[in-house]
Chains A and B, each alone.
Chain A
């Protein structure tokens, strides 16, 4: 075992470790992500929702040509009278669920994409099929570039992107703020327009936050004193108010840490300007060439000896 070469080897290992540590150290200092409150979103007030599901059917109606949103038949429903999805799915972008603790305590909740300020799905998509519009803040999906790797599903803390498991030509399905449909035609999202009780408010993030604050202040004791989405994973454009704890409504308890920042920082530290990989290649080439040289001179000696012996092993 040659001592110097082992040391070289550990040096390489050490460099990788150091790069990682450096990445950790700087994580809080640089590139802190900025929340843009001029972007658009929605505020869902669970206390106003009556569970009529008008938003669900409006979503499928306006977006039917845009994301193949077919109806889902329930097992008991032999004649196919209702659209009865059990969860967000490959044909359902938004869903109302009822959470019932007791006869007195229950709440509806609406699921759809949170349109994160620093979306994990965009950060991980290898081919830029998930994108976030800088001006509107809308996170959109493009099936013409998507390779169907489902990394966005792994990454999303809210389990929002859904995949069409039953199709030979599948795609990812998620809310896109009616970006190509209702929003273009009417300037408002389909679900917000359809809601008869005003439980879904559409607008700029700053207006939504102001309105949510106002409701919290004007109705002390009515709500859980928290705007879900204001700070979670770095802020989302879809905000929630509720009278019941948010985790009881199936929304995950999350901190202000931004997962996409954590992972990108480590990735950037290792691959900054592609310097580390190139340096690694250069160093290894140098070592390998040096080693080969040493052996070539030895080989030459050997081969002359071999020739003398009249070696019998032709290649």
Chain B
């Protein structure tokens, strides 16, 4: 686990996309303020029939699945022993950290009485029957684990830093306002550096236990995200209500996680003008069809067993959404079975995108589209509700963009080129 596999992306932080994302973030957070002053009804279309809307469905159920890149990469590297993927882990963990952190944040915006959340830490209030109790604790724990996993990148930067920006800022402050630099500032900064240097090797030693915890926790809560809807046996359409929900959600988050790792790597290579990591990508792409095949088999087997195959093919409203999510996942995987398509960045991108869309649609189907509380209830998200979600996602991308430019997150190009050189004779079609 060398720290020298990673590097900062050297580029300006203030780009046009930064401004756009910042604007969206500001709008989103302004609307969140509205929600806290005038209540949930002021910004959302949720109702007593559809008490969970787009925030739970997208920000939490889909958002955390998308954030499973870190989970998937950790399984690949530490459990399946593919160390050569290690250079990709930091950016995966960073996205996971944002995904989960913001899912947690969305929940705090969504729940009506967030100030009572401390009850999750009071044993007498614990309710182990509730899948939500399990999800909440696991997600909180996992977010902490992700922070710890990311800490080395911060520590190494602290250790090496010259505090140039801070120094300049202090000088400017002094010139403009006459505030003096705090006494002994240099000394204190020095001790922060020393602390970082002291902590890093110690953290490195125990990190593997944290990392494994980071594999166990998503296994638990991703399946529980499926369990959440087990109770709604009278409201969730039989195409999706099954005892296999936990298993299906677990496999679903894995193939979404790997596919997102592919998309993310392709997009960031493109956006940051770095060479594509084709070799690693096609390696990852190799795993995905195995997972999707298991998933598709469980889905079909379960439908057959419960005698719902006819419903699935009836082409009514529900059946169409079912076929769409099923078809996207199946189609994407089919592409990946072809070895040559796996080597091409474009095809990789297309199939990964199809699988992510299909997998995400599956979660939408379970949480919203297949959910019918009875006659007279309808739900479609309000504009403000959507803008809050957009704001949160914008904030996520913004944070990623900034952090890869100030911390060593992306794989080092030097290592990259060495790897590529090894398999130079394989032509790569883009």
C-alpha spacing A163/B247, complex, angstroms? 31
Question: Taking A159-B373, A280-B219 as contacts, is the C-beta distance between A266 and B212 under 8 angstroms?
Answer: no
The answer on a CB contact under 8 Å between A120 and B2 is no
B374 sits at the interface (CB 8 A): yes
Question: Taking A13-B294, A148-B113, A280-B216 as contacts, is the C-beta distance between A157 and B234 under 8 angstroms?
Answer: yes
Chain A, residue nearest B286 (CB): A1
- The listed residue (A144, A151, A153) touching B132 by CB distance below 8 A is A151
The answer on a CB contact under 8 Å between B412 and A313 is yes
Q: Which residues of B have CB within 8 Å of A120?
A: 231
Q: For residues 108 through 139 of chain A, which have their beta carbon under 8 Å from a beta carbon of chain B?
A: 120, 123-129
- The listed residue (A128, A259, A313) touching B125 by CB distance below 8 A is A128
The answer on a CB contact under 8 Å between B133 and A89 is no
B23 sits at the interface (CB 8 A): no
Q: At the interface with chain A, which of B10-18, B44-52, B168-176, B255-263? A: B44-52
Chain B, residue nearest A287 (CB): B79
B177 sits at the interface (CB 8 A): no
Q: Which residues of B have CB within 8 Å of A149?
A: 107, 110-112, 132
A271 sits at the interface (CB 8 A): yes
C-alpha spacing A146/B127, complex, angstroms? 12
Q: Which residues of B have CB within 8 Å of A148?
A: 111-114, 116
C-alpha spacing A17/B223, complex, angstroms? 11
- The listed residue (B39, B111, B209, B228) touching A166 by CB distance below 8 A is B39
A277 sits at the interface (CB 8 A): yes
Q: Which residues of B have CB within 8 Å of A23?
A: 243
C-alpha spacing A1/B41, complex, angstroms? 52
The answer on a CB contact under 8 Å between A128 and B80 is no
Q: Which residues of B have CB within 8 Å of A76?
A: none
B27 sits at the interface (CB 8 A): no
Chain B, residue nearest A143 (CB): B113
Q: For residues 279 through 304 of chain A, which have their beta carbon under 8 Å from a beta carbon of chain B?
A: 280-281, 284-285, 287-289, 291-292, 294-295, 299
A64 sits at the interface (CB 8 A): no
The answer on a CB contact under 8 Å between B37 and A168 is yes
B220 sits at the interface (CB 8 A): yes
Question: Shortest CB–CB separation between residue B120 and chain A, in angstroms?
Answer: 7
A315 sits at the interface (CB 8 A): yes
C-alpha spacing A136/B157, complex, angstroms? 62
Chain A, residue nearest B126 (CB): A128
The answer on a CB contact under 8 Å between A284 and B212 is yes
Q: Which residues of B have CB within 8 Å of A13?
A: 251, 294
B213 sits at the interface (CB 8 A): yes
A8 sits at the interface (CB 8 A): yes
Q: Which of the four size classes fits the interface of chain A?
A: 35 or more
The answer on a CB contact under 8 Å between A147 and B111 is yes
The answer on a CB contact under 8 Å between A271 and B128 is yes
The answer on a CB contact under 8 Å between B231 and A263 is yes
The answer on a CB contact under 8 Å between A288 and B131 is no
Q: Which residues of B have CB within 8 Å of A143?
A: 113
- The listed residue (B38, B110, B136, B235) touching A168 by CB distance below 8 A is B38
The answer on a CB contact under 8 Å between A157 and B235 is yes
The answer on a CB contact under 8 Å between A281 and B114 is no
The answer on a CB contact under 8 Å between B132 and A252 is no
Q: Which residues of A have CB within 8 Å of B244?
A: 20
Q: For residues 287 through 314 of chain B, which have their beta carbon under 8 Å from a beta carbon of chain A?
A: 290, 294, 298
Q: Which residues of A have CB within 8 Å of B89?
A: none
Q: Which residues of A have CB within 8 Å of B408?
A: 315
Question: Taking A20-B243, A259-B231, A260-B231 as contacts, is the C-beta distance between A5 and B81 under 8 angstroms?
Answer: yes
Question: Taking A124-B130, A164-B39 as contacts, is the C-beta distance between A262 and B230 under 8 angstroms?
Answer: yes
The answer on a CB contact under 8 Å between B114 and A147 is yes
Residue-wise, chain B 403-416 has the 8 Å CB interface mask toward A (1 for contact) of 00000100010110
Residue-wise, chain B 174-210 has the 8 Å CB interface mask toward A (1 for contact) of 0000000000000000000000000000000000110
A267 sits at the interface (CB 8 A): yes
B232 sits at the interface (CB 8 A): yes
B343 sits at the interface (CB 8 A): no
Task: List 30 A–B pairs whose Cβ atoms lie within 8 Å, in order of A's numbering.
Answer: A6-B290, A8-B80, A17-B298, A20-B243, A88-B48, A124-B129, A126-B130, A126-B136, A128-B124, A129-B116, A148-B116, A149-B110, A153-B48, A159-B49, A163-B40, A163-B48, A163-B51, A166-B38, A166-B39, A167-B39, A168-B36, A263-B129, A263-B131, A266-B227, A267-B128, A284-B79, A288-B212, A313-B4, A315-B2, A315-B4
Q: Which residues of B contact A (CB under 8 A)?
A: 1-4, 36-42, 44, 46-49, 51-52, 75, 78-81, 83, 107, 110-114, 116-117, 119-120, 124-134, 136, 156, 208-209, 211-213, 215-216, 219-220, 223-224, 227-235, 243-244, 246-247, 250-251, 286, 290, 294, 298, 373-375, 408, 412, 414-415
